[in-house]
Amino acid sequence: MMRFYRALLHLYPASFRAEYGEEMCAVYKRRRTSLLSAALEVLRNAPAVHWDILRQDLRYTARTLARSPGFTAVAILVLALGIGANTAIFSVTDFVLIRPLPFQSPDRLVALWEKLPGYTHMELSPANYGDWKRMNTDFEDMAGFTTWQVNLIGQGAPERIKGALVTGNLFAVLGVQSLLGRPITPADDRESAPHTVVLSYGLWQRAFGGDSGVLGRKVNLGGTPTVVIGIMPPQFSFPDQEVDFWTPFEFPEAAFGDRNNNILNCVARLRDGVSLQQANAEMNLIADQLRRQYPKELQHTGAIVDRMRDDISEQRRLLLVALAGAALCVLLIACSNLANLLLARALARQKELAVRTALGAGRERLIRQLVTESMVLALLGGLLGIALADIALPLLIKLVPSLPLSGAPSIDLRVLGFAAILTLLTGVGFGTVPALRAGRGDLSGLREGSRSGGARKAGLRSALILAEVTLSVVLLISAGLLLRALLRVQSINPGFRSDGVLTLQTALPMPKYLAQAKRTAFYRRVLSEIQALPGVSDAAYISFLPMTMGGGIWPVNIDGKTLDRSEGHSASLRFITPGFFSTLKIPLLAGRNINESDASDNPLVAVVSESLARRYWPGQSPLGRHFNFALFDRTIVGVVGDIHVRGIERNSEPQVYLPYQQGPDAALIFYEPQDLVIRASGNPRLLLPAVRRIIHEADPEQPISDVRTLAEIVQDDTAPRALQVRIIGAFAALAFLLAGLGIHGLLSFTVSTRSSEIAVRIALGAQPRNILRLVLQDSFVLATAGVVLGVALAYVAGRAMQALLAGIAPADAATFLVAAGLCFLMTLVGSLVPSLRALRVDAITAIRSE
Amino acid sequence: MALKSPSPESFLPLPAATFHILMAVAEEDRHGYAIIQDVAARTGGELKLSAGTLYRSIQRMLEQGLLIETEERPDPEFDDERRRYYRITPFGAAVAKAEATRMSKLVKWARALGFA
């Protein structure tokens, strides 16, 4: 009974127990209340006592912190930067990599891809989609979609909107309901079904004013009257935020025979109890089976099943993981720096603490007081950090790839929870060591002129500084490697000149411009008027701008043989107007340019890129050769330089350019030139009003979209990388500042504790040189050890992010040397003031004070 | 550790346990269990302070300067080594007086309204 009561008393703070425990036991012994009521009584009172002590400690903390506002401000700022950086990066990482997708049982949703040589992921051909769907047993259902764009006409200004063509079961596979009306169902995607559309909440609000009367009404989608059957809820976004409507595929059955046209994205729902591995195994079996059945078309075609949540490129993932690692480094450095500051303070307060111990404050009370203090600091730092993260977040938006998630990363409850845990760990992290040290509570601090504990504490502080130096070297080297990678990527010639070029899109709606002559008239009128504008040196139209659309790939057939597409016998198809090469300054290497005489009734011609010519006619002139491409036989009349169609860092197929007038009337309308490029001698943006007017006069119903400069497009291609380098660079700079401050603090401390030793040495005739060596030795030993450890860790980190390094070696000597050099420089700067102070130690005063 | 001495009124209204403890030590120094007994006797058994409430209150009252621990043992023969004795401070007495004044005023007003 008594033992139970004694155990209960452990719920009270130790200091309270030590003070009153015995008496409480005595009272309990006399009273003999029931165990239950004793337990209830303790449960009621113990938290109250804890609260009393906490209040007292908080008051004390407030006074202590207010007494040294400089220290408090620096501590809070350092913590805020550490916690803020981690919180901001976490909110992006969580949004991109962790947060479950907003669909029913999202962990069972998978994305399916074809695996082809030269591609990590390839969309499905309709025929393969049909077979995979029919043959599998592991999926509840499988759906397909592809994105497209149309002009929305008749709802205010004509607008170019992005949408998705979906199979009828897509909404059921995702498990989502519409907000109003109904989603698309399998009945809608038959060829005979009426044209229907489901609108996004955003488009419904923007173009239709949120009027529910729009349900059942016909709207003009790219010239096709289409019935609105449903509105999706605001949080629905698929496959990414830009998609504003969904229409059913109206595939003719024949389309499902095509195995070369890889246009379908595919999502599927795993059956209960089927693992991702099982699904992958089954899909590989099916791919094998199909390969045997269609050896020519599918010789190298495999299958990939990814969890939909993980369907993000490895590079994007690595980018974020590297940032999270860097942010964590900053926080660790901030923690060790603060632990150091607190140790120094604890030392300065040794007398105060010793007095309090002597006055009867138990060790536990002291630790508790110090932990309260570090927790208060951490909490204030955490609050400021969250505010900083909130400010920083919009700047990180370029790190977010397109995802089926609505909204953007924000500081929500999840992120706040993360920040809270981080703050708690931080407080414990930097508070515990100093508190335990201080809690040893020897009374030697009371001795007159006491210098006790110096050596041991300096050892601990050195270890903390070593950690700081090491981590900052890791950050510096990582930042250096990534910067070199960025510079290398940015120095890659995209194959065209991006400066001074304005681009915009005027996608011609199709029944209206179905006749070639009508399109030609539009292009000619617009281009000739734009070319006449002052400041314009050239202008042209192309199907799709480089780096904005990687697709449009067709198989290349030479001499009547169908070449195996999976061995990379394919090229990107673009229709252009004559001025395209000169507008983008793509060099003409042989033969002639496309020109106005390449009309539809003349022989079909093509200009190809150098790599295509080299592949099929190595060492020979490709001019005059024939090849079959995009439905027809074409003659090569010119060779131009290759460009990076798919973006700087990806391999691109060779390019084939066809004259704009030789696009057939009904087929290939997807490839009709829609992107306008204008080279200006001055700022290209200034041309915009005149260009808008010209297009409006040519066709008042024609929307203009995607106005950008070509330089922006090229820049966007490496924007996530550039942003990552800037952030890690900033982290590295911060880490270095903190480490430098740490070294400064440690040396100041050493100099002041060893001032009598230094004085004796000076008195005995030591030269300034000797004194300097004495002081600097410590910091340079630390710096050297930090560089050695840091270099080793940085190499490991570099290996881990090799995929981001664009071919820069993880052990890049130049980067490592610069980082080491900077580290020693930082050590020197950090040591400067304490060293000078050591030199100025006045022998007489220092010795007398002993 | 209190830097500025607060006014007795700033403690009002006093928690019931605190007021009773002050009354229990008003006449003589008492140890914890004696305080519990005194309070129980004074209230005819209506208020039985638990050990937790008692010592929590005592700790606060010591910090607030309402009580002090005494060195003298009033009754050495029956004294138990581990017992601590508590004595009311002049400030504690002032606070108790202020509380009593507050309460009697309250009772007077209640009477005027026919509540008692």
Which amino acid belongs to residue A744? Answer: H
Domain assignment present for B9: no
Which among B1, B33, B55 has the least Cβ separation from residue A30?
A: B33
Cβ contacts of A30 on chain B, cutoff 8 Å? 33
**Digit-coded pLDDT (tens) for A501-531:** 999 999 888 778 888 888 999 999 999 999 9
The answer to whether A314 faces chain B, any CB pair under 8 Å, is: no
Q: Give the single-character DSSP code of A802.
A: G
The answer to whether A44 faces chain B, any CB pair under 8 Å, is: yes
Q: What is the CATH number of the domain that holds B36?
A: 1.10.10.10
Closest-CA residue of chain B to A46: B52
**Could you tell me which residues are beta bridge partners of residue A224?**
A221
> What is the structure's pLDDT at A710?
94
Cβ contact, residue pair A24, B51, below 8 Å: yes
Sequence spans of domains, chain A: 2-67, 69-101+317-452, 121-310, 470-482+714-850, 508-702
Cβ contact, residue pair A44, B54, below 8 Å: no
Which long-range CB contacts under 8 A does B46-53 form with residues at least 24 apart? B47/B16, B47/B20, B49/B17, B49/B20, B49/B21, B50/A41, B50/A45, B51/A23, B51/A24, B51/A27, B51/A28, B51/A31, B51/A41, B52/A12, B52/A24, B52/A41, B52/A42, B52/A44, B52/A45, B52/A46, B52/A49, B53/A41, B53/A45, B53/B17
Q: What is the pTM of this model?
A: 0.78
Cβ contact, residue pair A20, B55, below 8 Å: yes
Which among A26, A44, A46 has the least Cβ separation from residue B33?
A: A26
Q: What is the pLDDT along chain B (116 residues), one digit of tens a residue?
A: 444 568 888 888 999 999 999 999 998 888 888 899 999 998 998 888 888 899 999 989 998 899 998 876 655 555 555 578 899 999 999 999 999 999 999 999 999 998 87
Domain assignment present for B2: no
Domains held by chain B: number: 1
Question: Residue A468 pLDDT more than 80?
Answer: yes
* B interface residues, A as partner, C-beta within 8 Å: 1, 31-33, 36, 50-56, 58-60, 63, 80, 82-84
Question: Residue A844 pLDDT more than 80?
Answer: no
Instruction: Please tell me the distance from the alpha carbon of residue A89 to that of residue A292, in angstroms, as a whole number.
Output: 48
> What is the structure's pLDDT at B1?
43
The pLDDT > 90 percentage for chain A reads 36
Tokens of A647: 């973006």
> What is the structure's pLDDT at A3?
84
**Digit-coded pLDDT (tens) for A174-220:** 999 999 999 999 988 887 888 999 999 999 999 899 999 999 999 98
> What is the structure's pLDDT at A601?
86
Which among B32, B50, B60 has the least Cβ separation from residue A23?
A: B32
Cβ contacts of A49 on chain B, cutoff 8 Å? 52, 56, 59
Which of residues A179 and A441 earns the better pLDDT score?
A179
**For testing the chain A interface, which of B21, B38, B55 should be mutated: the one with the most A CBs within 10 Å?**
B55
Cβ atoms within 10 Å, residue B74: 13
> What is the structure's pLDDT at A285?
93
Query: What angle do helix axes B32-42 and B51-64 make, rounded to 10 degrees?
Result: 110
Start-to-end C-alpha separation, chain A: 58
Q: What is the mean pLDDT of chain A?
A: 86
Q: Could you tell me whether strands A588-591 and A655-659 are parallel, antiparallel, or unpaired per DSSP bridges?
A: unpaired
Cβ contacts of B54 on chain A, cutoff 8 Å? 27
Q: How many CB pairs under 8 A join A and B?
A: 56
Which of residues A848 and A620 earns the better pLDDT score?
A620
The answer to whether A352 faces chain B, any CB pair under 8 Å, is: no
Cβ contacts of A45 on chain B, cutoff 8 Å? 50, 52-53, 56
Backbone angles phi, psi at A199, to 5 degrees: -100, 150
Cβ atoms within 10 Å, residue A720: 18
**Digit-coded pLDDT (tens) for A649-685:** 888 889 999 999 988 766 777 788 999 999 999 899 9
- The number of C-alpha atoms within 13 Å of A562 and in the hemisphere containing its C-beta is 8
Question: 3-state SS of chain B: helix, strand, coil percent to 5?
Answer: 55, 10, 35
Domain assignment present for B96: yes
The interface predicted TM-score (ipTM) is: 0.82
Cβ contact, residue pair A24, B31, below 8 Å: no
- 3-state DSSP call for residue A605? strand
Question: Residue A230 pLDDT more than 70?
Answer: yes
Q: Which domain holds residue B83?
A: 14-112
Domain assignment present for B54: yes
- The number of C-alpha atoms within 13 Å of A155 and in the hemisphere containing its C-beta is 22
Which among B36, B56, B82 has the least Cβ separation from residue A52?
A: B56
Instruction: Please tell me the distance from the alpha carbon of residue A200 to that of residue A188, in angstroms, as a whole number.
Output: 18
Cβ contacts of B55 on chain A, cutoff 8 Å? 16, 19-20, 23-24
The answer to whether A94 faces chain B, any CB pair under 8 Å, is: no
Which among A19, A26, A45 has the least Cβ separation from residue B52?
A: A45
Which among A26, A27, A56 has the least Cβ separation from residue B63?
A: A56
Which amino acid belongs to residue A124? Answer: L
- The number of C-alpha atoms within 13 Å of A697 and in the hemisphere containing its C-beta is 11
> What is the structure's pLDDT at B102?
95
